[in-house]
Every structure is written in structure tokens, then in C-alpha cells.
Amino acid sequence: MNRRTFGLRVALGFGLCVTGLNAAVAQPGAVAQASETTRPKVRLIATGGTISNHTGGRLTADELLKSAPALDRYVRAEGEQFANVASSELTLTQWLELARRINDAFRQDPELTGVVVTSGTDTLEETAYFLNLTIRTDKPVVVVGSMRNPSTVGYEGAANLLEAFRVAAEPSSRGKGVLVVLNDEINAAREVTKTDALRLQTFQSRGYGVLGVVDSDRVVYYRTGLKRHTSQSEFDVSSLKELPRVDVIMVYQGASGDLIKAAVDRGAKGIIIASAGAGATSGTQRDGIEYAVQKGVFVVTSTRTGSGRIAPSRGPRQTGGDERTDGGYRISAEDLAPLKARVLLMLAIAAHADGAAVQRMFSEY
């Protein structure tokens, strides 16, 4: 190629660049409009928690959106204030209302790609699992929070929120159930638990591991859960007014069965036994369990160890199993932690399930 030909090509290329720039300047709205229509639409439904709890008040949903860096690069974000309280202050009635609100949002706006829910971390895993069982869509619902508040040096809430929006907007997030996003990690609502009172890496899925990660370039998934959830769930809370009382009783050395009897007498419809090891009780708890069973109360055996599976019984035994005894049922929690076993049992009882159906639910969910 001679110098003259090279010079002509350079000039032509430069002219095309200038023409393109002039076109963009002449029609600035065209580029902005294309970007606006192609970005996925994601709604923030804020319930409060540490992520919004700054000194002197709480950040609103709109203020949280403004705090997330470069959010407009990824989504068309909109905010909605559902509540603004600590997670432990959310009531079971509000759980029902929240599930209905999210279901309504997806039904009323087909353009909505996903929903992000802020929550305090203390009971985040319970709220997330409840939504995992009651949201009736395969579109992403992401629960997010923070361990530090906005007034604290090192506040990670804005980064967590941005990552939650990115996960909710990610097409490969569909069909994976309700997700929990903190500390650059994506965990399944069914499996994740808070493992430390203070550290940022508190939310872990122990033996199961993360579903994926949120990196600077993209959202990456490594696996997916196989248990039933969301669009495959049989639980319909659209007209449910309240959830039945279910209590959790811890097993410890020399424990009294009186606490179990008292819970039954005060109206508990179900008892979750956080057993020692693979189903052991202590003290007089066995008497308390028998009392509950005779009163027609579901007794679900889980483990306090943090992981491990309690297998259903294939015959009469003292703990676990699905055999009927005087109108009540003994159920195995499978691998569900006590707090999440409680959530599932409340919904099972509200659905008027019998003993065999409840055991099936614990196996499938």
C-alpha cells in the first residue's frame, strides 16, 4: 500500500467517525432512548433493616436507589416502600402481605424483569425462604441486606444493593428460586443461613456452597438447586389471613418436656424439635413430644447441628417418621434447618395437609 492510498483510507475513516459523532450530537435522544428500552426493569421493595438504618433515621426506598453506584448502567430501577423496620419486627401477617405484593407486581406489570427485597439480616433467611415457597413466578426475586449501617465506615449496603439488582436483571437467574445476595455471593434461600453475628461473610450455605458470584464483568452461576420452589410451589397465600402458630424447641442436656406441653396448651399447631445430633432428645422432652402428638399437633424433628439430614421413619420410633399416633403426626425435617422447617410447617398446616402430605412436602421442598 502506497502512502497516497494509506492517506486516503485514514481520511475516509476519520470522516466516517466525524459523521457518526455529528449524528449522535444531532439526535442525542436516540441513543438514550435505545438504552432506556433495552435495560431490564427491576423493582426495589424495601422493608427496612440495617441496610437503611442510618443515624437519625432510616433511608427510604428512593434514597437506597440513589446510593447504589451506576445503577442506571444495568437496570431501569423503581422503588416501593413496603415497610421500614428491623427484620425481627416484621410480623407473619406482613410476610403474607409481602408475598402477595410481589405476586401482584409481577402480574400487573409483565415488563417487570425481577424484584429486589431489602431485609434486615437477623431474620433474612426466614423471610427469603417464606418467599421461596409463596412467590408464584420463575422471574428472579433477590433478597439483600447489609451487616453495617449507612453511618458506619465500611458500609457495604450500596454495593450489595447494586449486585442484587444485577442478579435480578440477569436472564440466567430465572427459575432458580428466591436468591440471597450479599458479599459478592449468590446463595439459595432454602440453603443459606446467617453464621456470624458481625462478619460480612456471615451468609453461607455450608456444605452446599454458593450458587454463584457477582463479579465486576458479569454474574456467574456454578450450580442450581433441585428442590421445589416459587412457580412450582403448591402454596397459595392469596387469600390466607394468618399463619398457624409453630414453635421451635431446642434440645439440650436435661431439658424439660414442660416447654413443649406449654406451647401446645398455648395454641401451637406444630412443634419443631431442634434435636441433638440426628434426632436425640434429652430430659423429659420425650414425654412432651408424646403429649403434643396425643393433642393432634405436628412434631417435626430437625437437627441443631447446622447441617445433616433427618431421614423419615419406616416404622414406629421415638423421633422422626410419618406414622400417626392418636391424631398427631411425627415428621422428619429432612435437611431443613429448624427455622426453615418452621416456615414450611406453617404453610403445610395452613394448607390443611395430613401427616403423609406434610412428610412429602419436607421431602420435596
CA distance 160 to 89: 22
Quickly tell me which residue has 410480623 as its cell. 91
Cβ–Cβ < 8 Å for 299, 292 = yes
Q: What is the distance between the alpha carbons of residues 47 and 87, in angstroms, rounded to a whole number? A: 8
172 three-class SS:
helix
Determine which helix (DSSP H) or strand (DSSP E) holds 184, and give its type and residue range: none
50 is catalytic: yes
Grid cell in block for residue 19:
459523521
Catalytic member of 50, 118, 121, 319 = 50
Question: What amino acid occupies position 338?
Answer: P
Rounded Cα distance, 228 and 234, in Å: 9
Query: Quick one: cell of 96?
Result: 403474607
Report the alpha-carbon distance of residue 283 to residue 234 in Å, rounded: 38
Output the DSSP codes for 74-103. T-EEEEEEEEEE-GGG--HHHHHHHHHHHH
> What is the residue type of 32?
A
Instruction: Report the distance separating Cα 338 and Cα 303, nearest Å.
Output: 7
Catalytic residues: 50
